[in-house]
Structure 1
Amino acid sequence: MKFAPTALALAVVTAIVAPQFAHANADAATQNLPAEAENDTAVASQSQQPIEKMVITSSRMAKPVSAIPNTVTVIDQETLQQQLAASRDLSTIIGNLAPGFSPSRQKMSNTGETLRGRAPLIMIDGVPQSNPLRSGGRSGQTIDPDMIERIEIIHGANALHGLGAQGGIINYITKKPDDSGHKLSLDVSAPTDLSHDSLSFGANYSFSGSSGALDMLGSVGYHSSGVYYDANGDVIGVDTTQGESMDSQSKDLFLKFGYDMDDSRLELMINHFRMNNNGNWMAVKGSVANDIPTSAVEQSQPWDAANNRVTTSSLVYKHNDIGGQQLEMQLFNQNFQAVYGGGCFASFYDPEFDSAPGLTTCSTTNKGENLYYEQSRNRSNKWGLKTSLLANDLLGFGVDLAYGLDLFSDTTEQDLVQTGVSWVPETRYDNIAPFAQLSFEPLPQLALSAGIRQEFATLKVDDYKTLWGAGNKQVAGGEPDFSQTLFNLGASYNLTPALRVYSSYSQGFGMADIGRLLRDGNSFPAENASVDGAINLEPVLTDNYELGIDYQGEYFTAKLAGFHSGSDMGARLELNQDGIYSVKREKSIIRGIEASLNAYVGDADTLGLNMALTEGRYDANQDGRTDTDLDGANIAPNRVNLYWEHEFSFEATSRIQLNYFMDREFHKADGSEYANFDGYYTVDASFTVPLYGGSLSVGLQNLLNEDYYTYYSQTMPNDTRNFKGMGRTVSLGYSLPF
């Protein structure tokens, strides 16, 4: 499917629909809606009630949606609970409500899950969870969903929070202390054939209260996942290398303390999350060519099972009046460790350990080399300080100015667990970034914004040697530094109180997966290999253009946006024959259309549609022109999401949603097809009802028991990862405040 969304095309659409929307709004205006019921809603807001002014804290200026010239999705607590009734996978939930996000892999790894075809920056309360130096695909498994109040998603590359937001920002906003007291939540799920080992269950206990100026929230959660089954009742294959979420356990401890002072507040947040695979299942190789899915057999893994251990902490100080300005300072830390499953990999072989004691030999090559089971471990420690000041109505001219300084440091290393050999040398990234952001409303209906951010970055790598399988190459370390000025411009214009058009240009700054580049001997073809001057280590700069139109009326809301994202030196993931990814630095262009429509039928029903159409190409032959389709590890499928919500008179609610993923072919520069995706659809349903002072939820994932291979498995064909999706699964949940 080919298309070319352009500014001209969207302008034509705007010209056509504006008069009709304006006419509809004239009728709505007679209903005497509250003055604050502007079009300050996000894509996922689906309420028939008067719409509250929704402030997006991830914008660094705490602006309402109507003043942000980007597509924004907010998944509020009510919508999040609806989705959790059917699935606890955050990637699935985000994809259901922001279809420009890739379908979930249904694994511990989120490698290949992109937003608008590029990696998003995932945060918890503004603290980066993404690992820019050595991604590893585990940033999606760092918090229990029960600790989240809402999710803010800003689509498209931007530099609001610095490093890593090539595809946008996904910010998990955690719950805040109040006087709600205690709450206990229980949940259980299983395939509808109720296989004995498929039961998943969990519990969460939280307490919240205050005493004078001090408030506190604490929560502890545990969840055990059973074995996953497909629509045919067969065990789904396990990903013993990148990490498997089935047959696993997760634990989360969350604490938040707040102290209010005159015109100021101090808040401490700590979240410790652990996820461990039990290691009781081994993969059974499938066959892509013969339509045989990868399966699994109950057998102990001969290595340490994959796991995630993440501690996120944040100390925030806010003052509402320092010389007439608002101050916010955030000191944060994220300590991250991910252990990946093992395998019999030639890439990890080293003759130094041939037949070494303590290692388990798994096969012998035709050269007589004794391969052994090995696995890797990724460790990252991030520190940062974000300081910003906000001056409103500067000099009486209606100009708001946010400015400040961000400091960031990330130290990352990846080693091999069994032998202790360094795979990715210890790498340190230091960043200093002053920024300024202006917002101006020269007319009541017009909001303009402009910003600048200066990135000063240094990468520090000591001398190291690549693995024997990667050339055993000695590489001289170094301290390459980078300086980049980033700009953003935006305009939002209310044609009527209900109809808004907006346009923006923004730049995103990030690093390619440095770890993958450093460990790959091919990254340093010169005889005297050196980190200094290596062009592959240059930052990724992404230019994002967007044009959109929003309508907020009494009977329906609508959004339409087109975007164009380009990078002269992108960072594409390419899967090698041994199942390990490498990074390719090439020019890439991604463009697409995102749309949503919510219709309010009567007083109790809401019908909705979300859609995303995206295409992406890269420069395969390095001639400066994009010529080859990006594959499924780098771009999401075209998809349509439909839903129907109903509110019952006895305070119960229901939702049924359909996700349709469209067929797609992937072509090389010569027009030949190198991969294809056989689309599929899934239907989910949820029902929530008050019961004995609490709330009971019932959810069905894949209600019609659709038999399908996942998007990632189809578009990145590999016999060891030819995974099917989960079959029909029923979930029950009950929460009780006391």
Structure 2
Amino acid sequence: MEFLNYSLLAIAISTSFSAAANSMEALSDDNVERMIVTGSRMQENIDEVPASISIIDSKTISQDLLTTAELQTMLALHVPGMGADTGTNSNSGQSLRGRNVLIMIDGVPQSTPLRNGKLGIRSLDPSVIERIEVVKGATSIYGNGAAGGVINYITKQATSDKALSGRVAVNSNFSAVKLEDSVGRRLDVAIDGTVGKLDYVVSLVSDENGVIRDAEGDALGLQYGLSNFRSDNLFTKFNYYIDSSRSVQFTYNYFEGQQHSDYIAVDSNLNTGIKSQAIKNVNNLDVDGDPQGPRGNHNVKLQYRDMELTNNTDFTADAYWQRIENVFFYSTKFKDENLGLVGGQSMITSEKKGLRLNFNSVFDFNNVEAKLIYGADILNDLTAQPLVDGRMWTPEMDMSNIAGYVQAKLIFSDNWVLKAGVRQESIEIDVDDFSTLMICKEGKQCTVPVAVTGGMLDYDATTYNIGLRYSNNEYFSPFISYSEGFDIANIGSLLRNAKFNELSGLDTEASIVKNSEIGFSSIFDNVRLEMAAFYSTNNYGGNLVADEATETYVLERASQKVWGYEIAVDVDFTEQLDAGISYSWSEGKNKETDSYLDAGSINPPKITLYANYQASENLRLAINYISVQSRDRFEPKDGKYSGKTAPVSSYNVVNTSVSYVASKAVKLSVGIENLFNSDYYPHASQSHALDGWNVKGKGRTANIGLSYSF
């Protein structure tokens, strides 16, 4: 096959060159909080990057865990431009700057862009994350799926030079509005250590919620719900140092999360004015469907690193394998009277096998420091969306992807940082013959199944990026950048809604996303200010819109533009007190019709605040606040909203936590989510006029914890 020949040639070429490692081993203790590896696959100071970057460090993650273990909430609180929707096991309705984002664990992709089910954010437990790096805007560094940017979970590594050290933490969370059935529990056990040339980390977390209740004490609806949701995470990392410059690392992460509830969903939608909720199954009625959530997500990575491949070159090779199986909610739209089926339940399955070869070479030319990053990404992704009963909704897509890239970073006179790069993408997607599935919504026309002859889809694209930053003045460090991303927009949705009998009849054209950004950072003594404005376009949209006749969702194949700005201020008032505030706003339009993009892409404006106070050596207090502002862009039809076009009203939520170090080994904590018991609907619940979606946010919820370190 031509693709195989191209792959072998790319491997041979790339292995004869050399550039940046993407692990955290080499970060120094002095500046680790200001370093990033995700943006360009090399270790660099965040103040030298000509792009908007957000980092959630280990201290912040640990602080947030005292209140909640939801990664969606952490990202909403600490990443300007990230949607604020929380309280579910899905990140649907939570975009980054109006576009989809690629989720990774240590650089291994978790998202399923071929059939984006928006479940990638909850891929592991936050307790195993050392830091979260978020690069905003389209990127040519990582290829397909990164139209809005990248969220990379950097996992923990051994910190102890002893053979064995560790931590055991137990927590219980419960509704402070109505205690009945709401008590949950969490067990977190982690050990790490160093034995000779080997260091290791092993973590096991089991987290089980009780019934999640709203501000009125009612159980939240079950669709994508977290009530009675149990997740288990096993994480291991072993690193063997061959010598001072070479190492081999093995990482395995297993994550599953299932909702086993004794409650029954009572679904409604926002047009009725009645909230979706759940009631206790007092009559022991049979509930259709399997438990929702990931049945078991496996991530395996083997990394080889040589920090001195040549005198000026660092080399990293990552081989990885990932398998996921995410189960969605039961729906009667999958009924088929001919088969005697009253409904069904879909799930996204994906298996990825990949190899990444990354090189980093450093050169000095008089007053110019040059770094050259180059290599190849090779990926096979087998993705489908069958029903649990065996019927096929989205056919199996077998993607082979080879990409080569070169990135250059030049530092002139310690003042100017110029970055530029190019990525060449070659993709083949093999689709066998298939038939679309009949979908029957209550009161709507049933779709008509279509037999489609399969074939091969070929994509080739070259994307570029260039950016410039002035970095030698801490009072004003401006940057400007242009970057492109390659996006095969949720092709699985196109296939499952096919209206043609030939694969060639489908409009499967990929999209080039072009992102321009300008911004700056400023440091004045104890104050840090960051601001950025962006403008993003693409030639083919990936927004799912409703077909009113059948109430199914199809991709809107139209060019789009998204624009916005973000501002963040952080202040260290004293050694004991620090605080910050951020504001983010974005908007988007269909360029062909000049109509606004709906809430499937555009999140409403967001304000966040936080404050941390170290009251004494042993006592620490923290508070954070999130305010979602209103957005109203669409008119109802016959007094009703459809799809994702309903208006959003503003709401405010305050969370707080207190921790007390009782001894060197023992720590006590109390966290309160929604401290003032705000009665609200999250913005996705307000904007999505779909059955089962209008679920209220969590009411006041308490989290009590005890940890012991040894």
CA distance in 1, matches of 2:551, 2:672: 33
TM-superposition CA deviations, 1:380-416 (whole Å, max 9, x none): 0011111011111166652110000110110012212
Deviation at 1:244, TM superposition (A): 2.4
CA distance in 2, matches of 1:375, 1:71: 39
Instruction: Kindly provide the amino acid, as one letter, of the partner of residue 259 in structure 1.
Output: Y
Matched, 1:445 2:415: yes
- Mapping of 1:544-623 within 5 angstroms? 544-575=515-546, 581-619=553-591
Instruction: Kindly provide the amino acid, as one letter, of the partner of residue 602 in structure 1.
Output: T
Instruction: Kindly provide the amino acid, as one letter, of the partner of residue 73 in structure 1.
Output: S
SS of residue in 1 equivalent to 2:54: strand
Which of 1, 12, 34 is the equivalent residue of 1:54?
Answer: 34
Partner residue in 1 for 2:406: 436
Matched, 1:513 2:490: yes
Matched, 1:466 2:436: yes
Partner residue in 1 for 2:91: 110
Matched, 1:708 2:680: yes
Matched, 1:341 2:329: yes
Change (3 A) 1:438 1:302: same
SS of residue in 2 equivalent to 1:327: strand
- Mapping of 1:318-329 within 5 angstroms? 318-324=305-311, 325-329=313-317
Which of 479, 492, 517 is the equivalent residue of 1:502?
Answer: 479
CA distance in 1, matches of 2:293, 2:579: 40
Which of 453, 464, 475 is the equivalent residue of 2:452?
Answer: 475
Matched, 1:250 2:257: no
Matched, 1:426 2:393: no
Deviation at 1:512, TM superposition (A): 1.2
Change (3 A) 1:227 1:585: same
Deviation at 1:734, TM superposition (A): 2.0
Which of 622, 638, 647 is the equivalent residue of 2:605?
Answer: 638
Deviation at 1:307, TM superposition (A): 2.7
TM-superposition CA deviations, 1:680-730 (whole Å, max 9, x none): 111111122212322222111111111011100111123432111001111
Deviation at 1:296, TM superposition (A): 1.0
SS of residue in 2 equivalent to 1:598: strand
Is the Cα–Cα contact under 8 Å of residues 495 and 501 in structure 1 kept in the other structure? no
Is the Cα–Cα contact under 8 Å of residues 310 and 334 in structure 1 kept in the other structure? yes
- Mapping of 1:331-410 within 5 angstroms? 331-345=319-333, 348-353=334-339, 355=340, 359=341, 372-393=342-363, 397-410=368-381
Identify unmatched segments of 5+ residues in structure 1: 1-48, 360-371
Which of 165, 181, 185 is the equivalent residue of 1:181?
Answer: 165
Which of 595, 615, 640 is the equivalent residue of 1:648?
Answer: 615
TM-superposition CA deviations, 1:130-189 (whole Å, max 9, x none): 001112222122201111111011111112122211111100111102326121011111
Partner residue in 2 for 1:9: none
CA distance in 1, matches of 2:289, 2:524: 58
Matched, 1:142 2:118: no
Change (3 A) 1:268 1:579: farther
Is the Cα–Cα contact under 8 Å of residues 80 and 568 in structure 2 kept in the other structure? no
TM-superposition CA deviations, 1:595-624 (whole Å, max 9, x none): 1011222332122111101111124xxxx3
Poorly superposed stretches of 4+, deviation over 4 Å: 49-53, 394-397, 575-580
Partner residue in 1 for 2:625: 658
Deviation at 1:238, TM superposition (A): 1.4
Deviation at 1:260, TM superposition (A): 0.4
TM-superposition CA deviations, 1:312-368 (whole Å, max 9, x none): 1111111011122100111111100012221221xx234541x3xxx5xxxxxxxxx
Change (3 A) 1:575 1:237: farther
Deviation at 1:379, TM superposition (A): 0.9
Partner residue in 1 for 2:506: 534
SS of residue in 1 equivalent to 2:598: coil
Instruction: Kindly provide the amino acid, as one letter, of the partner of residue 648 in structure 1.
Output: A
CA distance in 2, matches of 1:72, 1:84: 22
Matched, 1:629 2:599: no
Is the Cα–Cα contact under 8 Å of residues 178 and 217 in structure 2 kept in the other structure? no
Q: Cα RMSD over matched residues?
A: 2.1
CA distance in 2, matches of 1:579, 1:195: 38
Instruction: Kindly provide the amino acid, as one letter, of the partner of residue 306 in structure 2.
Output: H
Partner residue in 1 for 2:9: none
SS of residue in 2 equivalent to 1:518: helix
Is the Cα–Cα contact under 8 Å of residues 528 and 571 in structure 2 kept in the other structure? yes
SS of residue in 1 equivalent to 2:684: helix
CA distance in 2, matches of 1:64, 1:458: 36
Partner residue in 2 for 1:121: 102
Matched, 1:90 2:90: no
Which of 262, 268, 293 is the equivalent residue of 1:280?
Answer: 262
Change (3 A) 1:576 1:106: farther
CA distance in 2, matches of 1:718, 1:534: 27
TM-superposition CA deviations, 1:3-55 (whole Å, max 9, x none): xxxxxxxxxxxxxxxxxxxxxxxxxxxxxxxxxxxxxxxxxxxxxx9966622
CA distance in 2, matches of 1:323, 1:417: 52
Deviation at 1:737, TM superposition (A): 1.0
Partner residue in 2 for 1:235: 219
- Mapping of 1:195-210 within 5 angstroms? 195-210=179-194
TM-superposition CA deviations, 1:419-460 (whole Å, max 9, x none): x12111111111110000000012211110100000011111
CA distance in 1, matches of 2:481, 2:86: 32
CA distance in 2, matches of 1:377, 1:291: 30
Which of 150, 153, 161 is the equivalent residue of 2:134?
Answer: 153
Is the Cα–Cα contact under 8 Å of residues 566 and 584 in structure 2 kept in the other structure? yes
Is the Cα–Cα contact under 8 Å of residues 629 and 668 in structure 1 kept in the other structure? no
TM-superposition CA deviations, 1:538-589 (whole Å, max 9, x none): 2222111110110123221100100111111120022456775332222111
Partner residue in 1 for 2:658: 687
Is the Cα–Cα contact under 8 Å of residues 419 and 467 in structure 2 kept in the other structure? yes
Is the Cα–Cα contact under 8 Å of residues 312 and 333 in structure 1 kept in the other structure? yes
Is the Cα–Cα contact under 8 Å of residues 304 and 318 in structure 2 kept in the other structure? yes
Deviation at 1:225, TM superposition (A): 1.0
SS of residue in 1 equivalent to 2:62: helix
Is the Cα–Cα contact under 8 Å of residues 474 and 522 in structure 2 kept in the other structure? no
Is the Cα–Cα contact under 8 Å of residues 617 and 629 in structure 1 kept in the other structure? yes
CA distance in 2, matches of 1:227, 1:260: 47
Is the Cα–Cα contact under 8 Å of residues 471 and 521 in structure 1 kept in the other structure? no
Instruction: Kindly provide the amino acid, as one letter, of the partner of residue 258 in structure 2.
Output: N
Change (3 A) 1:329 1:50: closer
Instruction: Kindly provide the amino acid, as one letter, of the partner of residue 256 in structure 2.
Output: R
CA distance in 2, matches of 1:205, 1:304: 29
SS of residue in 2 equivalent to 1:375: strand
Change (3 A) 1:178 1:599: closer
CA distance in 2, matches of 1:570, 1:669: 23
SS of residue in 1 equivalent to 2:117: coil
**Matched residue count:** 656
Deviation at 1:196, TM superposition (A): 2.2
TM-superposition CA deviations, 1:513-546 (whole Å, max 9, x none): 1211111034x3xxxx2223632x2222211111
Is the Cα–Cα contact under 8 Å of residues 177 and 699 in structure 2 kept in the other structure? no
SS of residue in 2 equivalent to 1:79: helix
Partner residue in 2 for 1:168: 149
CA distance in 2, matches of 1:134, 1:719: 22
Instruction: Kindly provide the amino acid, as one letter, of the partner of residue 196 in structure 1.
Output: E
CA distance in 1, matches of 2:687, 2:221: 17
Change (3 A) 1:63 1:295: same
Instruction: Kindly provide the amino acid, as one letter, of the partner of residue 304 in structure 1.
Output: D
CA distance in 2, matches of 1:178, 1:521: 53
